[in-house]
Structures are given as C-alpha cells and as structure tokens.
Amino acid sequence: MKKRELIIAIFFFFPAFNLLTAQVPVLETGGQKMPPEWIDKDTGHRVKRITNREGESRSFYFHNNPFVKTPDGKEDLMVFYGSTDNGRQFFVVNLQTLEIRQLTDSPGRKSGEIVADKRREVFYQMQDSVFATHIDKGSTRLVYVFPEDFKAGITTLNADETKLAGTWAGPEKRAIYEKYPKKGDYFERIFEAKIPHTLFTVNIETGVLEKIHTENTWLGHIQFSTTDPDLLMFCHEGPWHEVDRIWNINIKTNEVKKIHERTVYREIAGHEFWSWDGKTIWYDLQVPRGETFFLAGYNIETGEKTRYQMDRNEWSIHFNISPDQRLFCGDGGDPTQVAKAEDARWIYLFKPQKGRLESERLVNMKHHGYRPLEPNVHFSPDGKWIIFRADFEGECQVYAVEIEKNR
C-alpha cells in the first residue's frame, strides 16, 4: 500500500470522532466553570453538560425513569426539572442533539416526576391535584383531585400505564415536617411516631381511588414493577438497621411479602430498585451496617439471591442497572455517608465478576457537594453514557459521562 493510500485508510478507519475528541480539553472536573464538554483528567472519560440553559437543572431520582423515544423512535428524550422565573418546571432534552424544550409553565411546586412512555406524558402533582403534560404537544390535562379527607401523594405508574400509586400519611407527619424541616431532625421523629400510612392506587381513566394497605409505620420508596402491572414494591422507612425495609404487595390479591430477611445484628438493606425485565429487585446490602458492602439481588420468581461484594470506597448512595442488564453504575459518596469512605467521590461503572463488582472510575466528584445533592445516576437508553446531576460548577446541572474511554 502506498503512503498516501495508507493515510487515507487510517483516516477512514479512525474517523473524525478521534479528531474531534482530540480537541476536547483535558481538565479537572469542577471547581471552575467547565466548557460544554471535557475529558476528566483523572479518569480519561469524556464528560458533557446536557442541560445547556440558564438556571439550575436537575435530573430525576435514580429509580424514576426519565426517558422516552422521539415519535419516530430514532432518538432519545429525557425529561428533567429546570428552575425558571415562574418556579421549577419540566423540560425535555434530546440526548442526541441536546435541543431543549420547556414542557410546563404553571406556578407552584411540582412533585411526582413520572414519565409514561406509552402515553407520552409526564405525570406530576401540585398540591392536591394530579396533572399530565404531553411530551410532544405540550398540552396539560387534570387527571385527579384528592378528596378532602385523603390528601395523599403519587410516586409511581404501573407497567400498563393504567394506575398511579402512592402513599397517604396521618396529619401528624406534616406537623413534624413543619416543625422540623431538616432531615436530621425529622427522620427519627417520624419513624418513632408510628403514624398510620396507607398505600393506594388511582385508576387514570376512571378516577377510582383504592386503598390497598395500611400500617402504623412510615411507608415510602414506592415503585411499581417494570413489567407486572399488579406488583408494587414499598419500604418501611426509618433507620435501616431498625426496619425490615423491602416489601412487595400484589394489588389484586393484597398479598404482602417481605423481600429481605436480616441475618445479623445491624444488617441493613435499602435503596431498592427493579431490573428492567421485572424479575429482580436490586438493593444496597451491608452485613452489618458500614462494614461489608454488597449490591444484592432477589429474584421474585425463584427466590434466588445474588450478592456482588465491593470495597468500602466503591460503595455508592445509589446504584442503577444498564439497559442490557449486564452492568451497574454508582454515584459514590462522601466521608459523611454510611460507608465512611475517604475516597468514594466518583461516578462508577461496575462489571459483575465472580461474586464481586469490578469498578472503573468515570468522573472525579471531589468538587461536588454530596449533601444535600446526591448525583442519582442513570444509564442512557443506548447504554453508552451515565447521566447524573452535580453542582461542581457552582449550581446544579445535568451531565453525562461516556462509558467508553477515549484512547
């Protein structure tokens, strides 16, 4: 092969992507205003800001799926929160073009953050009313208004997108929140108060509210199965070493089942989430608390249990699973978290290997404030990026780090 032909072959074999990435600066992540994208100098991975707009932006909680396809199915959209002069609103960003559109503009606090990909709507709550805004059309409809004697909150949508679910709590809970607004002050008080809580569903089409389960304890972290429209996961909130946290309920039969049984004193399990195929519940497991760390799984069909051990510095506040269910990611933690890890402020990629998680550091998060802003990692729908929120530029924005390292 002639020299000129060799050069042309190299150019086409290693396309313009390499030339473009060669122009991306290599920088320490955070502690300064960052360019739209950069290479993290400590990891070699490319990071980009995906919320390029004025004001703060915030991605969803780790187990709330924010993604939906464009109407033609060719590109991926992500719904997120953004601050505006009219309060916090919903926006949508195209993950391929980074084009951003605002979805809502109504004043008032919004909660719920539920994306219905089949209906192409985002469900949310304002005070006692539930709304749905169409992701493509921008139109908003009133879905449900809670009755005066049952002021509750929605948190999840079932797999066939027919029912919302959430929890109601006795008025004592609101009184504690109002008197003690900081988590460090209200957390133990709510747990110890044994306030009645009720799980409920609302039929989106008929508006029928059904109360399905009541306990005199704090119920939360409510998530419908990703595939079974009748299976609802919930937890007993409170100090993790004092509660049997993870439970399922079948909303047709009202059968309640404990998912994890404690085996030693001060063992903890929590921050549970569903696998994409709906067969496994994954959760943070420490046996006992703060000593030995696992990502654990429970197969709801067979009862089979899986444990992947990790080192203290690899422990993360939240974990998540890739679309192909072969990889996990984690958002790390600072030394004040339960693991008391001195070097855990990283966004991690995890590969299961013979009972352990083999970790790779993707982003150095030393300039991010873990309290109170937890990164809450998500895999992108194509499995090529991990999306997270951070304040390492001085305000909260949403970022993505590329899993494949630029060589």
Domains of the chain, earliest start first: 29-402 (2.130.10.10)
pLDDT(390) > 80? yes
User: Which sign does the torsion angle of CA 331, 192, 233, 58 carry?
Assistant: negative
- Indicate the helix (H) or strand (E) that contains 45: none
- When pLDDT is averaged across residues 293-314 and rounded to a whole number, the result is 98
SS3 content of the chain, % helix, strand, coil (to 5): 10, 40, 50
Among all chains, which residue has been given the structure tokens 């249990």?
Answer: 305
The pLDDT of residue 369 is above 60: yes
* Arithmetic mean of pLDDT, 318-335: 98
CB 296 within 8 A of CB 273: no
The mean pLDDT value of the chain amounts to: 94
pLDDT confidence of residue 345: 98
pLDDT in tens, 211-257: 999 999 999 999 999 999 999 999 999 999 999 999 999 999 999 99
Let me know: does 115 contact 77? Beta carbons within 8 Å. Answer: no
pTM of structure: 0.93
Return the bridge partners of 319, or none.
Answer: 330
* Cα distance between the two ends of the chain: 26
pLDDT tens-digit profile of 17-68?
Answer: 444 456 999 999 999 999 999 999 999 999 999 999 999 999 999 999 999 9
Q: What would the pLDDT profile of 268-289 be if each residue is shown by its tens digit?
A: 999 999 999 999 999 999 999 9
